[in-house]
Every structure is written in structure tokens, then in C-alpha cells.
């Protein structure tokens, strides 16, 4: 799962460029490979109506590579903490002051917790392997309790998540390899490649749009190194390389996993499964092995939510500290010194998100972030090329503006393919953000109630 990571600013002069291409690619893949594929394979199959669901992951990979090249240019030119927040602040300050970075942080208060909600939902789905007859109330009580436990564990100063991240990666790697191996050990080509008649009919592109939403959700995390630009060796090579290599590598992993799963049972059975990994391992290696695999996946889901909320709660704190967001989020816990307001806010939103259907949550988090982050970043790249032509760019997007156009069309396709409910809720959240911004700007005497303040932070360093 993707979450912004705070790094040292390139402006403090104390960073150490120690991360090479291999390590950077591993970092991206660690963030990308969470519980995602284990909960989306059945939905993808049901959505696209057969084994052609693999096209959803291929389409997701194409969008991720194109969008990754946007991240690569912006991240290499403006390394340090903040990621999108920094890019939007620098690009849109000329006309709309602090509006765009404010809206991005406002959206983060929704999207990061919703991303964590998918982890909780997935964890509870796999718990049903052990408790198959859980009703609606037990499922949601466990979901809220798990979210509360994560928040409680985080309600203290935690210096590093390095150990958690490494453990998460190892357990997830074991899970992916184990499920893939189990699938291929009892593989039936007649199941895996049993394509339905007329699969490219009139509803194909509607299904592909919904499949692309799930596919790009599984790739989230490919831009992690964009938040670590000042720690990369030769960022002009390492950043785009780590993004593109990690996406292609994960596409191969997902395709292998998907095909192995499809070879174990008819796709209709897999599409109805709540815990597809458990189903595959149980059919291939028996109940005990499936139980062990299920435990590993439950641990992975819990740990990913822990790491995601820990990192995510620091984002609004950083923005508030720089006076670009609501000041209440800039307060630290009086005793333990951590951003408790952001943590509690995100914990509540995560708990609320668990009451929605998994597909709806994924739709909402993507719909909310596409306009304010994905599309805005593409615009930011073009604006900065025009407004700051002297900005040092260790990497300039290959074949510009073709990748930008592909990414823009892909994100628009994802957006219009989202459910009506997710579009309404995410739209309402952004509108609320505009209202809150207007009040905040009035109180702080910022644009539009004062002239814009222009500070080209990264040009000042050269």
C-alpha cells in the first residue's frame, strides 16, 4: 500500500545519497505488494467476466508506467518530503496561492484512511476462513476493533517503521510465492484459459474500466521513491528506473499469481471466493497449509495498515507546520510528541470506511485522488516547464508529452468508470475542502483575500 514518507529536505544540505537502483526498486515493490491482489482477484474476475481479467493488470501497468514518468521528472527536480504536496505548491502558487497543496492534504485525510480501510476489510475477509459464519455485525465490530487497536498501538512516539516494513515484505513475499506455487502445483490449463464466448463484446470496455480501477489500486506504491529523491544516487537515472522496473516486475508477479490461481478451479468459483489465497492453497496442499497461509495474509494486512497510518498521519502535520494547512493538525501530543490529531482523524475515517463494500472503497479513494493528485500533477509538470525553465531536472520525461497524454487519458477513463456513489462522495469531499480553504484563507489572510506569495524554493538553491 502506498503512503507518503517524510524524508530530509534537499535544502538542509545534510542528506546522504545512499539508495541505488536495486534498493529503490525494492522499496517501491515493498509498498506495492500488500494484500491487494489477494482481495481483488475475485472482484476482477467477476467484473470482467472471465480469465481475460489479466488485461486489467496489464492496463494498470501501462497507466502506472506513464504516470510514473510524471512522478519521476517532478520528484527528481524537487526531491525531499511532501511529494505531491511540494509539486502542487511550486506549480500553482502563481495564480491560486496555497489552494492546490491545501486541497491535496485535505484529500489525503480521506484517501490514506480509505486505503487502510481496504486492508482492514481484506483482513476480516480472510478471518472468515476460520469463522465462516460471521454475520454483518460481527464483521463490522471486528473491523472497528482492529482499526481501534492499530490506532491505540500508534498512539505513542514511534521512531522507525524499518523493522515493520522488512517483516511485511518478507511475509508478503512468502504469501505470494506460496500461493503461486500452490496454484501451479495443481494447475489445469482448461480452467486458466477458459475464455467465455464473446468476451470482447459490447460490455468489454465497461468491464475494462472497472478492472483498470482494481488494477491501478494493486500498483499503488510505484511512486514511493519520489518521496525519497534526496536520498537516491543519481536520481535522474534511479528514480525513473525504480518506478518502471518495479511496475513491470510487479506486473509479472501479478500475472503469475493470477494465472496460477485461475488454474486451480473454474473462474466462476474463484470469483465468488472471499479468501482466494486460502481456497487455492487448501485445494492444492490441504487445510493446514491453507490455515498457515491465511494467518500470514492476516498479519500482512494488519501490519500494512499499521505502517500506512503511521506514515500517513505525518503528512497533514508537515503541511500544517509549514502553514499550508489547518493549524490544529500541526500540534504534537504533549507527552509523547507525535501528531495525534491527524492520527485520530485518520483512524476514525478508516473505521467508517470499513462499513462500505470493498469495491466502493477502492472507487472512492481513487476518485478522490485523481483530480487533486494525478491530473493535477500532470498539469504541474507542464506548468513548471513553462514557469521554471531554469529548474534543474536530472530526469526529463522521455517522449514528452506522450506519457503525460497517456496518463491523463488513463486517469480520465478510471474516473468516468468509477461508481456514481464514489463520484458523489469524493466530489462532496472536495467541495467541502474548498469551503474549509476559503475560511482558512480568510482567517490567515492568504489568497484569495491577499496577494499571492511566490517563493520558487528549488530555484533559490541554484
Label residue 234 left, alpha or beta by phi (over 0 means left) and psi (-120 to 50 means alpha). left
| Contact between residue 179 and residue 38 where contact means Cβ atoms under 8 Å apart | yes
Distance CA 378, CA 100 (A): 13
pLDDT tens digit sequence for 244-290: 999 999 999 999 999 999 999 999 999 999 899 999 999 999 999 99
pLDDT tens digit sequence for 348-377: 999 999 999 999 999 999 999 999 999 999
| Contact between residue 253 and residue 25 where contact means Cβ atoms under 8 Å apart | no
Query: For residue 30, how many other CB atoms are within 10 A of its CB?
Result: 20
Distance CA 128, CA 399 (A): 48
Fold for 21-444, please state it: Amino acid/polyamine transporter I (1.20.1740)
Domain residue limits, the chain: 21-444
The x, y and z cell numbers of residue 157, run together, are 512516539
pLDDT value at 14 more than 90: no
| Contact between residue 48 and residue 56 where contact means Cβ atoms under 8 Å apart | yes
From first CA to last CA, the distance across the chain in angstroms is 35
Distance CA 116, CA 364 (A): 13
| pLDDT value of position 462 | 55
pLDDT tens digit sequence for 380-419: 999 999 999 999 998 999 999 999 999 999 999 999 999 9
Query: For residue 392, how many other CB atoms are within 10 A of its CB?
Result: 13
Residues 112-141 have a mean pLDDT of 93
Label residue 197 left, alpha or beta by phi (over 0 means left) and psi (-120 to 50 means alpha). beta
For residue 4, name the pLDDT band (cuts at 50, 70, 90).
very low
For residue 436, name the pLDDT band (cuts at 50, 70, 90).
very high
pLDDT tens digit sequence for 207-256: 889 899 999 999 998 988 887 777 788 888 898 999 999 999 999 999 99
SS percent in the chain: helix, strand, coil, step 5? 70, 0, 25
For residue 162, name the pLDDT band (cuts at 50, 70, 90).
low
Residues 142-152 have a mean pLDDT of 95
pLDDT value at 318 more than 50: yes
In the chain, the percentage of residues whose pLDDT exceeds 90 is 63
| Contact between residue 368 and residue 376 where contact means Cβ atoms under 8 Å apart | no
Mean pLDDT (the chain) is 89
For residue 461, name the pLDDT band (cuts at 50, 70, 90).
low
For residue 168, name the pLDDT band (cuts at 50, 70, 90).
confident
For residue 313, name the pLDDT band (cuts at 50, 70, 90).
confident
For residue 170, name the pLDDT band (cuts at 50, 70, 90).
confident
Residues 24-42 have a mean pLDDT of 86
> What phi and psi, each to the nearest 5 degrees, are found at residue 161?
-115, 15
**HSE-CB of 118 using CA atoms within 13 angstroms:** 28
> What phi and psi, each to the nearest 5 degrees, are found at residue 261?
-65, -45
Distance CA 65, CA 58 (A): 11
pLDDT value at 159 more than 80: no
Full-model pTM: 0.89
pLDDT tens digit sequence for 70-96: 999 999 898 766 789 999 999 999 999
Amino acid at each position: 500500500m502506498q503512503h507518503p514518507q517524510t524524508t530530509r529536505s534537499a535544502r538542509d544540505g545534510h542528506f546522504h545519497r545512499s539508495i541505488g537502483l536495486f534498493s529503490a526498486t525494492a522499496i517501491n515493490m515493498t509498498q506495492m505488494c500488500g494484500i491487494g491482489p489477494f482481495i481483488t482477484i475475485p472482484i476482477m474476475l467477476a467484473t470482467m467476466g472471465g480469465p481475460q481479467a489479466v488485461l486489467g493488470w496489464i492496463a494498470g501497468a501501462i497507466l502506472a508506467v506513464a504516470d510514473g514518468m510524471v512522478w519521476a521528472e517532478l520528484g527528481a527536480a524537487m526531491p525531499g518530503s511532501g511529494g505531491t504536496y511540494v509539486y502542487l505548491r511550486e506549480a500553482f502558487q502563481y495564480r491560486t496561492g496555497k489552494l492546490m497543496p491545501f486541497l491535496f492534504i485535505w484529500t489525503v485525510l480521506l484517501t490514506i484512511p480509505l486505503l487502510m480501510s481496504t486492508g482492514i476489510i481484506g483482513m476480516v475477509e480472510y478471518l472468515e476462513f476460520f469463522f465462516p459464519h460471521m454475520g454483518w455485525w460481527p464483521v463490522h465490530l471486528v473491523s472497528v476493533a482492529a482499526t481501534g487497536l492499530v490506532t491505540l498501538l500508534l498512539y505513542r512516539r514511534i521512531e522507525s517503521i524499518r523493522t515493520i516494513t522488512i517483516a511485511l515484505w518478507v511475509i508478503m513475499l512468502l504469501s505470494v510465492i506460496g500461493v503461486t506455487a500452490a496454484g501451479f502445483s495443481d494447475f489445469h490449463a482448461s480452467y486458466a484459459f477458459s475464455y467465455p464466448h464473446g468476451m470482447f463484446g459490447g460490455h468489454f470496455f465497461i468491464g475494462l474500466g472497472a478492472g483498470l480501477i482494481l488494477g491501478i489500486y494493486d500498483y499503488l506504491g510505484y511512486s514511493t521513491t519520489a518521496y525519497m529523491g534526496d536520498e537516491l544516487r543519481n536520481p535522474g537515472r534511479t528514480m525513473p528506473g525504480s518506478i518502471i522496473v518495479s511496475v513491470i516486475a510487479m506486473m509479472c508477479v501479478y500475472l503469475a499469481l493470477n494465472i496460477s490461481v485461475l488454474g486451480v478451479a473454474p473462474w466462476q468459483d474463484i470469483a465468488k471466493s472471499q479468501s482466494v489465497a486460502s481456497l487455492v492453497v487448501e485445494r492444492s496442499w490441504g487445510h493446514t497449509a491453507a490455515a498457515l497461509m491465511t494467518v500470514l495474509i492476516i498479519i500482512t494486512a494488519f501490519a500494512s495498515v499499521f505502517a500506512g497510518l503511521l506514515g500517513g498521519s505525518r503528512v497533514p502535520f508537515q503541511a500544517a507546520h509549514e502553514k499550508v494547512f489547518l493549524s490544529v493538525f500541526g500540534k504534537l501530543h504533549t507527552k509523547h510528541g507525535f501528531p495525534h490529531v491527524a492520527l485520530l482523524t485518520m483512524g476514525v475515517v478508516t473505521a467508517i470506511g470499513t462499513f462500505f463494500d470493498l469495491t466502493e472503497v477502492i472507487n472512492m479513494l481513487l476518485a478522490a485522488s485523481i483530480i487533486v493528485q494525478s491530473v493535477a500533477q500532470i498539469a504541474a509538470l507542464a506548468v513548471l516547464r513553462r514557469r521554471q525553465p531554469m529548474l534543474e531536472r536530472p530526469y526529463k520525461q522521455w517522449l514528452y508529452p506522450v506519457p503525460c497524454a497517456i496518463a491523463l487519458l488513463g486517469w480520465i477513463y478510471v474516473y468516468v468508470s468509477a461508481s456514481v456513489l464514489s463520484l458523489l462522495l469524493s466530489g462532496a469531499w472536495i467541495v467541502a475542502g474548498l469551503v474549509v480553504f476559503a475560511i482558512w484563507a480568510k482567517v490567515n489572510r492568504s489568497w484569495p483575500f491577499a496577494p499571492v506569495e511566490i517563493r520558487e524554493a528549488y530555484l533559490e538553491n541554484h
